[in-house]
Structure 1
Amino acid sequence: MPEFDLVIVGGGPGGYVAAIRAAQRGLHVALVEKERPGGVCLNWGCIPTKAMLRSAEVFETVKAAAAFGIDADNVRVDFAAVRQRKDGIVKELTDGVTGLLKANGVTVIEGHARFTGPTTVEVFEPGPSPVFAGGPRYAATPSATAIRTVTATDVVVATGSTPALLPIPGADLPGVITSDGAFGVTEVPARIVVVGGSAVGAEWASLFAAFGAAVTIVEMQDRLVPAEDKEIGGALGRSFTGRGITVLTGTTVTSIAQTGDALVVDVGGAATRGIEADLVLIGVGRRPNTADLDLDVAGIDTDARGFIPVDDHMRTAVEHVYAIGDVTGTALLAHVASHQGLTAADVIAGHDARIDYDVIPAATFTHPEIASVGLTEDAARAAGHEVVTAKFPFAALGRAKTLGDSEGFCKIVAGARHHEVLGMHIIGPSAGDLITEGALAITLEATLDELAETIHAHPTLGEIGMEAALTGLGLPVHTAPPRKR
């Protein structure tokens, strides 16, 4: 007789959410976690970076206080206090997750799980506490001391991912770090090279630039945040350049070397040169945490990259074994992991649930902020849609003007015939909050007409969706009418 109805391996935003939902459905649940609950998102990703980015935003605002009629002298960064605030927020939230698991009757087992069969895991004492270095945090192997064996009717693998290092000479040098290692930086570097211009790299570049570092960001594609709409990537590049960040696109890093007190990053592309830095942050790619799990013992296959294939019910090819979150390689986002966790828990509890990946919002918390959902203009055209695009600038929005933050725009991609919303792309203040309207519009198959006819509160940033829709319909109110041909 199994000890539990369900055992979940990994307590990140997928694992702990699945545990709570399964317990709510009446299942007897165990959660195995070797670190603090909350996974990468709460401990090393979403939350701590946003806490530090908020400090950077406040610093930049106070420096510009004169523009708001406020005198502020001798403004400086106390980086230790920034980190302390971040740690306090992380602890509060992880303690909150621990409390929620307890309140829902979930049995939490601290340790590292290894499969001894499809629905049986042996739990070992965790290895040494992770150190902040250039390499992955999970390099340490678990202790050889077994704590207990756990059996269950069903098992969910929710072990997440960790940053990958580039296979280039010098990537293992001291001073070369990943996004995890960035949390171990105790002072703002004078010079930093950020390798990778997608969300992770762009956020760290934005943060360190705000705190006064000389930042160079290197991206091999032709623009920053290459997964976003072209116009968004172009706008971010121009904004970063205007803030003094050196942006190198269409450029690759060929090697890193230690020369005296500096790291020298050799880059190739339009022009080959060496860039001196005190710190190099590699923000490119992630790899699944499947090592040391003994997945083969359970018969669980992985793809060539190490990710676990699943169907839209989150089932693996092994009966009674499910996988969720980053370890599936589907969309490496915390909110996707959480929805996958809810889906898996409901399926295991006997409900007909499945996940739909058609509407997944994403946000990048640079300054200016970026968010998107649905199809980019290029992707919509490639899919065979005839499209119209609608744009509205924050500079024409009253609320943005009052905030003193009016850089950027909202762009809507819609069908040319029925005006159905296919995608929304925002760069500007509170983009991550505003994108929900776009996600809801796509989910409900709303049109530009419906967005335009919905009364939005004034003065708010949220008006930008309505204003963009009006523009797309050729009926702009707060921007000049389109030119007649």
Structure 2
Amino acid sequence: MADVQLLVLGGGPGGYAAAFRAADLGLNVLIVEGRDTLGGVCLNEGCIPSKALLHVAKIIREAKQAEHYGVVFQPPKIDIKKLINSKDQIVGNLTGGLGGLASRRKVKVVHEKGVFIGPNTLQAGNDVFTFEHAIIAVGSRTVALANWPTHKRIWDSTRALEMPEVPENLAIVGAGIIGLEMATIYSALGSKVTLVELSKDLLPMVDKEAVKILRQQLSNFGCEFLLGTSVDQVTPSDTGVSLAFSDGHSRDYDVVISSVGRRSNADGIDCDAAGIHRNQQDIITIDDQCRTSVPNIFAIGDVTGMPMLAHRATHQGKVAAEVICGHKVQMNTSLIPSVAYTDPELAWIGLNLEEAKEQGYQPKTTSFPWLASGRNLASGGHDGLTKIVYCTESHRILGGTIIGMNAGELLAELTLAIEMCATLEDLALVVHAHPTLSETLAFAAERALGTLTDL
């Protein structure tokens, strides 16, 4: 007899979702989590803390923008200690809530680092547990740049969210989603931000027109971009960090944030002892039911590769739990929404124009500019865009990008439309409330159909 029917290794968004779903379906479940709390990187040092600070950044900017309406506020006085305490309180409330959910479901939680010692056994601290099934959900960690020194003035994204100070001059190396969100936060708090990116294009996988709008707005906030640039040398001191760039020039900064991506944690759980296959990047191979090369062991979330997003892990976790319980389910979608919670927000889903061509469609794009949106302008919004990729033959919606306030929320309608194989006509004939930002989706569809009256 095994100690537990299901052992979940990792208590992040995917891990606790899998554990709770399995418990609801009647299994005896154990979570092994190395942290003192559930929630993983997302809740403890990623998604939730960053969104709390981004909310403060938005308040600061909106207060300044209110001058346009004749409402003038005094320059903000920022109490960093109180700001961090508020953020930590939000995290504490949520992690405490997860602990309560686990307790009410009778899911046992062991707060120890776990490693496999066989296909049915795992060691956690001084204890060894046997299991019938296991789900690996150990997530990812920040990538450490080769030859970079460890120093108090060189932060990773976790340290940046702890906010030891608001530096006057800040360099962010890596202008991906995390780097752009950090730039949004720190520029609002008063830092002069320089974003250094190896790629010649900012967010090359995203619609260029939308990215141009984001870059312009961040530039308006005082952010500088060094694209197609690498850092050749890093020289820290007690007062700052000197960066030597690939173009030959050097600059001094008070603090440097390294934000060049994340890598799987599968290298730390001894997959080989259980016979679990992984590639050279420590990505665990799974099928569409999240099963690994070992039939009774499943893997979900960041350890299974891109995109490394919490909502993907959550859905995978539910699939894995239901498969273990005998349900005939699988992860049968490639539609994983992506959102950069910058100012303005940038969100995208589905195929871009080039990808649609590669898949054999005859695609085209249609869009609606937010400078023609009454709700956007009345709400103090700036430039924005709703763009849809569609098939010219069937009018089926294939993908889309939205940039503007609340773009992440608006993306849900577009995601559902693609999942349901909706057409431009379907989207255009839905009566949207006016004035709203959501009607820009219908307007974009109407523009392609030739029925738009708002341009």
Q: Normalising by the residue count of structure 1, what TM-score does the alignment of the two structures yield?
A: 0.91
Give the 5 Å matches for 1:11-410: 11-35=11-35, 36-124=37-125, 146=126, 148-167=127-146, 169-258=147-236, 261-268=239-246, 271-410=247-386
Cα distance per residue 1:287-340 (max 9 Å; x no partner): 111244222211122210012111111111012111111011142000000000
Which structure 1 segments of 5+ residues have no match?
Answer: 125-145, 480-485
Letter in 2 for 1:275: R
Mapped partners of 1:277, 1:121: distance in 2 = 46
> Which among 411, 425, 443 is matched to residue 401 of structure 2?
425
Does 245-254 or 59-68 show the bigger shift?
Answer: 59-68
Mapped partners of 2:190, 2:201: distance in 1 = 24
- 1:64 Cα deviation (Å)? 2.5
SS at structure 2 position matched to 1:380 = helix
Mapped partners of 2:91, 2:15: distance in 1 = 18
Mapped partners of 2:34, 2:312: distance in 1 = 22
Mapped partners of 1:2, 1:259: distance in 2 = 55
Contact 2:213 2:383 (C-alpha < 8 Å) held by counterparts: no
SS at structure 2 position matched to 1:192 = strand
Contact 1:420 1:445 (C-alpha < 8 Å) held by counterparts: yes
Contact 1:408 1:427 (C-alpha < 8 Å) held by counterparts: yes
Which structure 2 segments of 5+ residues have no match?
Answer: none
Mapped partners of 2:206, 2:195: distance in 1 = 17
Paired residues, number: 454
Mapped partners of 2:334, 2:238: distance in 1 = 51
- 1:62 Cα deviation (Å)? 1.4
Contact 2:24 2:105 (C-alpha < 8 Å) held by counterparts: yes
Mapped partners of 1:332, 1:374: distance in 2 = 16
Mapped partners of 1:77, 1:356: distance in 2 = 47
Moved over 4 A (4+): none
Does 309-318 or 382-391 show the bigger shift?
Answer: 382-391
Alignment RMSD, CA only? 1.5
- 1:171 Cα deviation (Å)? 4.3
- 1:260 Cα deviation (Å)? 7.0
- 1:172 Cα deviation (Å)? 2.9
Mapped partners of 1:6, 1:384: distance in 2 = 43
Contact 1:13 1:338 (C-alpha < 8 Å) held by counterparts: yes
Mapped partners of 2:107, 2:8: distance in 1 = 10
SS at structure 2 position matched to 1:14 = helix
Mapped partners of 1:71, 1:277: distance in 2 = 32
- 1:403 Cα deviation (Å)? 1.1
- 1:407 Cα deviation (Å)? 2.3
Indicate the residue corresponding to 1:483 in structure 2.
none
SS at structure 1 position matched to 2:266 = coil
Cα distance per residue 1:254-299 (max 9 Å; x no partner): 221136733111222xx43212111111111211112442222111
Q: Normalising by the residue count of structure 2, what TM-score does the alignment of the two structures yield?
A: 0.97
SS at structure 2 position matched to 1:64 = helix
SS at structure 2 position matched to 1:180 = helix
Mapped partners of 1:60, 1:40: distance in 2 = 28
Letter in 2 for 1:16: Y
Task: Give me the identity figure in percent.
Answer: 38
